[in-house]
Structure 1
C-alpha cells in the first residue's frame, strides 16, 4: 500500500463528498462539542463543520494553542527534524467554521449534556466527541510518577517533554548509558518505543558513539520486532541491548533521584532514563463515565459511538475498539466515520458503511523506513482486521528509502486533512 500526500487528502475529500448536507430538520442548529485537538478530534471537527455547510455549531476544546504531533517526534530525538517543524496552529479549523476554544475540559454532565471548562464556560451539546489521547497509569512503573517526568521524561505526549529528552540525550557523557522502560500493551503507537530507540541510537552514533542503550521491556514480543532487530544489527551493532520479561524486563523499577534502574535484583546507574508508563484513556473520558474496567472507552465498531452513551463518540487512542492500533492514522480514519454518523443523526443525512485503515511507518536510520498496516471492518464485537501488510526483512535500499519518503508525504497529508 502506498500513500502520498495527494492520495491521502483525496481519500478524505472522497469521504466528505458522500455527505452533502440536507436541510436542517429543526429550527435551531444542533451543537457538537469535540474535546481534544489531535488527529481524531481535529479531523472530526473539521469534517463536521465543512460538510454540514453551516447547519451545525461545532466547538473544539483543546488546551494547547499549538499542536505538536506525537507522530514523527522521534525524528527530533534523532536530530533529523526541528521540533518547530512538528508544531501546528488551529487557524485552518477556525477558517472552516469551527469555534476553537483553548481551555481544559474539567467536567462532563451526560444527563444535562454539558461540558464545563476550567475557565468557567459551560458548553451545551447534542453530540459529544471525545478524543483526548492518553493518560498514564500511576504506579505502572514502580518508583516513577508523572511528577518525576522532569527527571525521567516519558516524551509520549509531544512538546516540552520531547525537547527535554533530546536535551538529555545530547548532554550524556561520552560512553554513557541511555535506558528506556518500555510500556505494557496496549499503548499509543505500538512501534513507537522501538523507532525511538533507533533514532536515539542514530543521534548517539553522531555525537556519542561509545554510548549504550538498554531497553527494559515487559512484553514478550513487539511490533515490527524482526525489522527493528535486523536494522539495529546493520546500523548500530553492539549499541542496543533489550531485556524482556524472562530476565526481569517486566519487573523493572526506577529511582529517579539516584538515576538508577533496578531489574532482576540488579541496580544499574544510568545517565538518561526514558520511562514510558502504562496508559489509559485521557482523563476526561473517565470523568465523562464512558470508560470501563480496562481504562479505555468501549465503542461500537460501526460508528465509534460509546457503548455506554449513544450521544457520545470516542476516537483514537482513548477508544477500546478492537484490532486497530492506537495511532494518528487510525484516529483520523475513525474521525471521518464518526463525523458521518453524527451528521446522519443530527441532519438526517445518509450514512455509508464504515471503512477503516491504518499504516504505521518507522524510521530505523536515515532513508531506512519500514511500515505495517491494515484495513478493517466493523463486526458486532469489534473493529476487525481484514487484511494487512508489513515491510520485509532484507529489502533493498531503494525500497526502504521509498518507504521513508512515503511517510513524509503521509505526514503532510494528514496535517492538511486534520487542520486545513
Structure 2
C-alpha cells in the first residue's frame, strides 16, 4: 500500500544518500547464516554511480561474495555537480572519486580495464588487457553513449571543438576553458538533447550557472538555449531564477518557436534551426547529443529498438538475458528519471534482490526514491523529489510523494536549499564509493 512522504523525509534522505529503507520504512534483513556463507562470483561492468553502489552493497549483505568491478577509469568524475565547476565555484578535482575504499574497506576486486565483449553464454567478461573474467551473475551498469547518427555535422571527434560535457572529467575542462577564453559580449549556445537523457534538469542548470560565471567575468555576454523540446523539468522554477538573477542574459527558444537544432557546422561554430533556415553563431557551443545505453550493452544485444535496455522493472533483470541485471542510466526504469540518485537506489535494490535470489531468501522489495537539486546560482537552488514503487508491471511514482520546491518562495528559501545541495553530493558519493 502506498503511503505519503513529507518534505522532511526527503531532507533526511538527502543527508544519507538513501533509499526509503533509510527512513526505517523498509530495509534489508539482518545478516543470515545463508548470506554470511554465500560464495558466488559476481562481475559488475561499469564503476559509476550505479556500478559502484551495487558492488559495495553486495559486499555489505554477503561479505564472502567474490565481486569484480570492471571500470576503465582509475578516477571517476561525476557529471552531476559538473555545472558547479562551469559556474566557477567548484574545482573539477573535487568531482573525482577513486576506488581505494571499495578495494581496501570492502574487499572488492577492482580491475581498471575496458570491457570489450560480454560472452553471455559462457558467463565471461572479455576485457581489452586482462584474461576473461568468469561470473555466476552479471550486473551491467554501462551508463550512456551518444547517438551520433541523429546529429548532422557533429561526431565524436568534433567534441574537441563543440564539447558536450555530459560525461565527467575532460569534456567539462574543455568547455570551461572555452568559456574563459571567450571575449566579453560573446554568445554561448547550449543545445539540450531530445528525451530521454541523463539528468533531465541538467541543461537548464547549466544555462544558469554559465550565466552566473559570465555575469561576474563577461557581463555583456549572452546564453542562448536552442531546444528540440517545448518544455523541461522544473521549467517555472528555472525561469523564475533566470529572470531574477540574470535578466535578459538568458534566452531559451523551444522547438515550437524554431529552436530545434537541425545541423551544426563545427568549423565556424554555427547551429542551424527551423528546418535549417535559421543560423545561430556561437562563440562557444555546448551541444549535448541524443543519448542511448552504453556501447557494450549494444554489442551484447541487451538493448531494444529504443537504444535502451529493457528490464523487469521489479528486479532489474534483463529481459534479453536471464543471468544479467542492468542498472543506472542504461535501464528502462518506468517513471524513474535517469539520475545519480536513481542509479544509487537501483544499485541497492539489485544488491538485495540478487543476494536474495542466490540464498533463496525473499527480497525486501523496498520502494526507491529520487532527489535532485538544481542550482541557478551558488546561493539559489530548488529540488524535485519522488518515491517510486513497482505496481502493475512497471515502476510508478507514488501519488502525492515528494514534489517540487514551492514556486512562491523567496530568496531565503532558495538559499537554504542551496546549502543542502553540496551536502547531498558529499553524502551520496560517499555512499557510492565507500
TM-score, structure 2 length as denominator? 0.92
Distance in 2 (CA, whole Å) between partners of 1:246 and 1:10 is 38
SS in 2 for 1:3: helix
Residue of 283, 292, 313 corresponding to 2:304: 292
Alignment of 1:237-316 (within 5 A): 237-264=247-274, 265-316=277-328
Quick check: 1:360 aligned with 2:366? no
Q: Do the aligned partners of 2:35 and 2:359 also contact (CA within 8 Å) in 1?
A: yes
Contact 1:90 1:419 in 2 (8 A): yes
SS across alignment from 1:252: strand
The answer to whether 1:38 aligns with 2:52 is: no
Once the two structures are superposed, the pairs formed by residues 91-170 of structure 1 within 5 Å of their partners are: 91-95=100-104, 96-170=106-180
Q: Which residue of 2 aligns with 1:419?
A: 433
Map 1:14-413 onto structure 2 (within 5 A): 17-18=28-29, 20-23=31-34, 29-54=39-64, 56-95=65-104, 96-264=106-274, 265-386=277-398, 387-413=401-427
Q: Distance in 2 between matches of 1:101 and 1:62?
A: 6
TM-superposed CA distance for 1:113, in Å, is 0.9
Cα deviation, residue 274, structure 1: 0.3
Any conservation in 1 of the 2:36–2:62 contact (CA below 8 Å)?
no
Instruction: State the secondary structure of the residue aligned to 2:305.
Output: coil
Assess if the C-alpha contact under 8 Å between 1:362 and 1:370 holds in 2.
yes
Q: Secondary structure at the match of 2:59?
A: helix
CA shift, 1:147, in A, is: 1.2
SS of equivalent residue, structure 1 residue 378: strand
SS class of match (1:139) = helix
Does structure 2 retain, via aligned residues, the 8 Å contact 1:21–1:347?
no
Q: Retained in 2: the 8 A contact 1:369–1:403?
A: yes
Deviations 1:134-174 (A, max 9, x none): 00001322211111110000000010000110110111111
Q: What do residues 105-159 of structure 1 show as CA deviations (whole Å, max 9, x unaligned)?
A: 0000111111100114201111111111100001322211111110000000010
Taking a change above 3 Å as real, the CA distance of residues 6 and 183 of structure 1, as seen in their structure-2 partners, is closer
> How many angstroms apart in 2 are the aligned matches of 1:59 and 1:328?
22
Give the superposition deviation at 1:263. 1.6
Deviation at 1:302, TM superposition (A): 1.2
**Aligned-partner Cα distance in 1 for 2:179–2:369:** 35
Q: Secondary structure at the match of 1:392?
A: coil
How far off is 1:16 after superposition? 6.7
CA separation in 2, counterparts of 1:394 and 1:9? 28
Q: State how far apart, in whole Å, the 2-side matches of 1:10 and 1:152 are.
A: 37
Question: CA deviation digits over 1:325-345, x for unaligned, max 9?
Answer: 000000000111100111012
Distance 1:24 1:262, change over 3 A: closer
- Per-residue CA shift, 1:212-248, capped at 9, x if unaligned? 1111100010001101111111011111111111232
The secondary structure found in structure 2 opposite 1:257 is coil
Could you say if the C-alpha distance between residues 9 and 380 of structure 1 is closer, same or farther in structure 2, counting changes exceeding 3 Å? closer
Q: TM-score under structure 1 normalisation? A: 0.95
Question: What's the offset of the Cα at 1:17?
Answer: 4.7
Aligned-partner Cα distance in 2 for 1:11–1:156 = 28
Q: Which moved more, 1:405-414 or 1:31-40?
A: 405-414
In 2, are the aligned partners of 1:198 and 1:232 still within 8 Å (CA)? Answer: yes
1:366-397 superposed Cα distances (whole Å, 9 cap, x missing partner): 21101111100012432111133101223122
Runs of 4+ in 1 over 4 A off after TM superposition: 9-17
The separation in 1 between residues aligned to 2:115 and 2:47, in whole angstroms, is 12
CA contact (8 A) 2:28 2:352 kept: no
Partners of 1:103 and 1:170 lie apart in 2 by: 34
Unaligned runs of 5+ in 2: 1-6
